[in-house]
Amino acid sequence: MLLAVLLDAWLGEPRRLHPLVLFGRLAAWAESRWHADRRSAGVLAWCAVVLPLVALAWLLRAWLGPLHLALDVLVLYLVIGLRSLGDHALPVARALAAGDILGARTAVGRMVSRDTAALDDAQVAAAATESVLENGNDAVFGALFWFLVLGAPGAVLYRLANTLDAMWGYRTERYERFGWAAARIDDVLNFLPARLTAMSYLLLGDAARAWRCWRVQAPQWDSPNAGPVMAAGAGALGVCLGGAAPYDGVWEPRPVLGEGDAPDGQSIVRALQLVRRCVVLWLVVITLLGVVRWGAGHA
């Protein structure tokens, strides 16, 4: 895990032929071929594109024997996106600091699905901060958790499921039934990682405020996993997020997350720093648990 995190910090995401981009193309092809307004169609499509790749990772790991460490490092490097969070979020913060609202809107549009043309400075900062906190779980801690549980196949399973949720897991006419499996499977896989992420934010931020926001505000959020992550993260930072946001030209009401100051460019930077500190915390705790286990095995 440490080697993969260091490799991500050094190289960042592959700029050409990223496996997740290729998987996205495969998923788009599968949808065009097998889409139907039935839950069963979505289940079959999900299984067809995810399970063979998970099985391939498992078979490769078994075939490599002691050399599976190289596969583990490579797979985990490819599925985590810690450096990518900064690559996307920091341009938003810099544009806001320079008073370049048009540049900030353009940059945050690469991070979120909401309309950005009408966002003011605080709303742009809120969108980017929310994205950093939520993707701390989706792009980093969720992958680390399932890698810890199942090795490279677990990391592949989690990241592919998360990608399909982002592509199919919408409550629209096209995806209400077809995308049901993608959304529910992602919810199940994220249940424990999301709460561990929220707890990490709590421990390394304003703990009392993070716990209060988590307990009171998270149940009001549509997503059972994004709610705890973003509520605890906003509380830990002492910033007010959430609220109405524009999608497809309509301002949709959303609950408030966190409490405290209105977000600004510095809120984005602080959110990114929080995620990075939590990664260090996870690596330290996992290393200590590994040492204890090793010691018990040699006692």
Rg value, the chain, Cα: 19
For residue 70, pLDDT over 90 is answered with yes
Q: Which pLDDT score is estimated for 13?
A: 86
For the stretch 134-185, pLDDT in tens is: 999 999 999 999 999 999 999 999 999 999 999 999 888 899 999 999 999 9
Q: What is the pLDDT of residues 72-131, one digit of tens each?
A: 999 999 999 999 999 999 999 999 999 999 999 999 999 998 999 989 999 999 999 999
For residue 131, the model assigns a pLDDT of: 96
Q: If you average pLDDT over residues 11-15, what whole number do you get? A: 86
Q: How many CA atoms lie within 13 A of 257 on its CB side?
A: 33
Phi, psi of 264 (to 5 degrees): -145, -170
* Per-residue confidence band for 297, with pLDDT thresholds at 50, 70 and 90: confident
Q: Which pLDDT value is given to residue 211?
A: 97
Assess whether pLDDT exceeds 80 at residue 299: no
- What is the percent of the chain where pLDDT is above 70? 100
CA 68 to chain centre: 26
Is the full-model pTM beyond 0.85? Answer: yes
